[in-house]
Structure 1
Amino acid sequence: MSYSTPPSMPGSPTRLPVTQSRSTDRLAIISLVFSILGLFAFGIPALIGIITGHISRSRIRKQAGRLVGSGLALTGVILGYAALVFWALVLGCLALISTIQRASENIAKQSATQRQEDFVRKTQENTRARQAFKTRLIRKDRENEAADPPAPATGMKLVSYPGPLGSMAAYVSTDPGDGKKHPAIIWLVGGFSNSIAADVLEKGDPENDQSASAFREAGLLMLYPSLRGGNQNPGFKEGLLGEVDDVLAALAWLKQQPYIDPARIYLGGHSTGGTLALLVASSTTDLRAVISFGPAYSAAAYGQNVLPFDVENEAEAIPRAPILSLDAINAPTFVIEGVKGNIESLRRMRRSRSSQHVRFFEIKDADHFRVLRPLSELLANAILQDTGPTSKLDISDTMLQAAMKHHP
């Protein structure tokens, strides 16, 4: 008996269909990962994310049904562009900030340069005005006693420096002989003699030590110049007028000495020497810093008995008045006086319009002389530490008061 195969039904398949497999395009995943990284890595990976995202979307379209992940690729592309925009904004802001900073620095440099040029102009104007002014002395005073040679133990020697009127006597520290350039301070003694003598180098009583020996004891080199009309110097005493040019000449001479650091020359003085120091400071930009103990706001304030010019003549008083030229001082300047001393002159100058570089200190429970020894010691040590390219010499009222309190 034979069996026949039944006929196939119309429309029936001859075999079962095979299901098509699908996979996520790896480039879509790469696009998303790199675009996310681009948000945190300066946008560089975002470029890879954008490129791979576009390629992935193209591949998925061509192989419809076999590759998926178009949404991932699109997200990667969007994030990639977002990362580029984000980092473009960040870099733009940074560039803008940098530009602003550079512009500010340039403005600051220009301002500093302009201020320096202003100081130079003012000091030159002061010098020209002083040199052009022809004083009329009501008496012609001068000394006629040679400066004594200093004792070898002082470490000083007697020299002559070329002043504007001729050769002038001075005491200067000897060369340490170590081949180095050293800081130095020019010290202007008080009084009206314009002379120097060996006793100016002798350490005085702590209550009245006008020798400035504290600076030498600390290791600083020093110059004590005599001035016109003093010792056997040419000219007559002018009551702090032509004497300014004498000190400027001493400064120029000291800068030329091979063992002196020309960028670290300080100026100090006490009483009339402090007044003269302020007048000199307003006539030069070559000083590192200035220390003025107990100055007068004007030389005329000392009175007619000790001055060779008419103190009632305003034309004579003006070029001799530090209060009128403080705004030309560009070196750090410290004006110091005891409250029991010539304090009204200090207060009068402080109330005036003065340079930002001039600072005033009133010392409690001290007079015109008591401030010298303890504060000179403090200042000497501060000068030795002032070693940078520009002066950073800084003292505070607290430091000064403490030095006075703890000095024996």
Structure 2
Amino acid sequence: MLYRSLLVLVGFSVAVGSGLGCSNNQPVTDTLVETEFADKLFAPLNYLGNIAKQAPDAAFQSQADGVRKAVVQTKLPDGQSMTLWIYQPDPLPQSKVPCIFIAPAGTMMIHGLGLAEGDAAEHLPWVKAGFAVVAYELSGNADAETSSDVQLKMAAEKFRQAKSGLLNAQTAMAYAREKVSFVDPRQFYTAGHSSAGTMALYVAEMEPQVKGAIAFMPAVDIRASLGIDGITYVQNSKIVPEAGVYVNEISPITHIHRLSQPTFLFIAGDDRPDITGPADTFGKKLRELGSDVTVVRVPKGGHFEPMLDPGIPMAIEWLKMITQTH
């Protein structure tokens, strides 16, 4: 993969908001989503951490030059199993390393998805650059193209029970904090492409542990991504009750005022209009709010290839600057 500095690329527009660490937004200090309040009232203190302590230790094996990987089965609070792929740089630096949390891409953001071998292409560059990576699956695994309405309904229910993926991310962070000794718990970041980019932004908005977010071609407005026909079908088929209201509640653009962390937003000009239009608006609104945002817009390449190159190499250079600053 071509590895180039963020500052020497020619032919790409980079728009930077306030200086690093200079957001005028108040830092996020609470989690605001669905049943979180009830969880805090009725669950033991640090219940996710306690669950993580009971999970198996990570057994790392060589994956590629400079990369070791472990596959771990942990639990959600309701007892359901959840898979994590944990990567460590090899050799490990003497100091603890920042950790990036990445969900699988390819959902409609009304259901979840498991991890697949093809996802590794989005994980390995970060590890080779010296970061730890925890890839986590999303509850409610389904394939929108092949699953029946009944299967999608069941998957959507599991996804909502996992707080629309937020609980999956929080569980992954709890495991990293409690069981992965080489990560720095003060430097947790989210990243992802497409729907995983949506998840990266949503988790950053809702979870104060996250210190920065990286989103490649995210669907920041899920209503626009699904479209009127898609939302109508999902609702009329009873896959998701009140689908329009629900996807609005979990769209990053709805909670943009909560995104106080440094943010890297990558857009391809010839991507789908329901992706590029809202993403452009999202970046502009973040700048208007005084947020620390870097927006990179490449002219062409479609929805996938630009994420691999130049997107990830540029984001790696950006995150190195962020971690050095903090």
Bigger-Rg structure (1/2): 1
* Other-structure match for 2:128: 217
* d(CA) in 1 for partners of 2:89, 2:297: 37
Q: Which TM-score applies when normalising by structure 2?
A: 0.65
* Per-residue deviation, residues 47-84 of structure 1 (Å, max 9, x unmatched): xxxxxxxxxxxxxxxxxxxxxxxxxxxxxxxxxxxxxx
Q: Would the alpha carbon gap of residues 387 and 270 (structure 1) be closer, same or farther in structure 2, given more than 3 Å must change?
A: closer
Partner of residue 246 from structure 1, selected from 125, 143, 168: 168
Give the root-mean-square deviation of aligned CA atoms: 3.4
Partner of residue 188 from structure 1, selected from 87, 97, 103: 103
Residue 175 of structure 1 and its aligned partner are, at CA, apart by 7.4
* Other-structure match for 2:52: none
* d(CA) in 1 for partners of 2:115, 2:316: 22
Is this contact kept in 2: 1:182–1:259, CA < 8 A?
yes
- Helix, strand or coil: the match of 1:199? helix
Residue 196 of structure 1 and its aligned partner are, at CA, apart by 0.4
- Helix, strand or coil: the match of 1:191? coil
* Other-structure match for 1:227: 138
Residue 370 of structure 1 and its aligned partner are, at CA, apart by 2.6
Residue 235 of structure 1 and its aligned partner are, at CA, apart by 6.8
* Other-structure match for 2:48: none
- Helix, strand or coil: the match of 1:183? strand
Is this contact kept in 2: 1:184–1:261, CA < 8 A?
yes
Is this contact kept in 2: 1:239–1:299, CA < 8 A?
no
* d(CA) in 1 for partners of 2:36, 2:113: 19
Does residue 349 in structure 1 map to residue 282 in structure 2? yes
* Per-residue deviation, residues 201-252 of structure 1 (Å, max 9, x unmatched): 2x4xxxxxxx343212323221110121239x99723399431121122122
* Other-structure match for 2:312: 376
* d(CA) in 1 for partners of 2:175, 2:254: 28
**Number of aligned residue pairs:** 248
* Other-structure match for 2:260: 330
Is this contact kept in 2: 1:346–1:360, CA < 8 A?
no
* Per-residue deviation, residues 318-352 of structure 1 (Å, max 9, x unmatched): 32111111111121011211011121121232354
Q: Would the alpha carbon gap of residues 349 and 215 (structure 1) be closer, same or farther in structure 2, given more than 3 Å must change?
A: same
Does residue 367 in structure 1 map to residue 277 in structure 2? no
Does residue 273 in structure 1 map to residue 191 in structure 2? no
Does residue 120 in structure 1 map to residue 31 in structure 2? no
Is this contact kept in 1: 2:139–2:162, CA < 8 A?
no
- Helix, strand or coil: the match of 1:356? coil
Is this contact kept in 2: 1:328–1:355, CA < 8 A?
no
Is this contact kept in 2: 1:338–1:363, CA < 8 A?
yes
Q: Would the alpha carbon gap of residues 289 and 312 (structure 1) be closer, same or farther in structure 2, given more than 3 Å must change?
A: closer
Is this contact kept in 2: 1:326–1:354, CA < 8 A?
no
* d(CA) in 2 for partners of 1:350, 1:380: 19
* d(CA) in 1 for partners of 2:321, 2:264: 17
Is this contact kept in 2: 1:297–1:322, CA < 8 A?
yes
* d(CA) in 2 for partners of 1:213, 1:175: 9
* Other-structure match for 1:339: 269
Kindly indicate which of the two structures has a greater share of residues assigned to strand: 2
* d(CA) in 1 for partners of 2:319, 2:83: 26
Is this contact kept in 2: 1:266–1:290, CA < 8 A?
yes
Partner of residue 261 from structure 1, selected from 174, 184, 192: 184
* Other-structure match for 1:309: 240
* Other-structure match for 1:62: none
Residue 312 of structure 1 and its aligned partner are, at CA, apart by 4.9
Q: Would the alpha carbon gap of residues 306 and 360 (structure 1) be closer, same or farther in structure 2, given more than 3 Å must change?
A: farther
Does residue 171 in structure 1 map to residue 85 in structure 2? yes
* d(CA) in 2 for partners of 1:240, 1:271: 20
Is this contact kept in 2: 1:187–1:269, CA < 8 A?
yes
* d(CA) in 1 for partners of 2:167, 2:225: 21
Q: Would the alpha carbon gap of residues 319 and 240 (structure 1) be closer, same or farther in structure 2, given more than 3 Å must change?
A: farther
- Helix, strand or coil: the match of 1:281? helix
* d(CA) in 2 for partners of 1:238, 1:191: 17
* d(CA) in 2 for partners of 1:339, 1:150: 40
Q: Which TM-score applies when normalising by structure 1?
A: 0.53
* Other-structure match for 1:199: 118
Unaligned runs of 5+ in 2: 1-20, 39-58, 143-154
Residue 292 of structure 1 and its aligned partner are, at CA, apart by 0.6
Q: Would the alpha carbon gap of residues 378 and 260 (structure 1) be closer, same or farther in structure 2, given more than 3 Å must change?
A: same
* d(CA) in 2 for partners of 1:220, 1:284: 20
Q: Would the alpha carbon gap of residues 322 and 385 (structure 1) be closer, same or farther in structure 2, given more than 3 Å must change?
A: closer
* d(CA) in 2 for partners of 1:252, 1:200: 22
Q: Would the alpha carbon gap of residues 298 and 164 (structure 1) be closer, same or farther in structure 2, given more than 3 Å must change?
A: farther
Q: Which amino acid aligns with 1:378?
A: M
* d(CA) in 2 for partners of 1:338, 1:150: 36
Is this contact kept in 2: 1:172–1:222, CA < 8 A?
yes
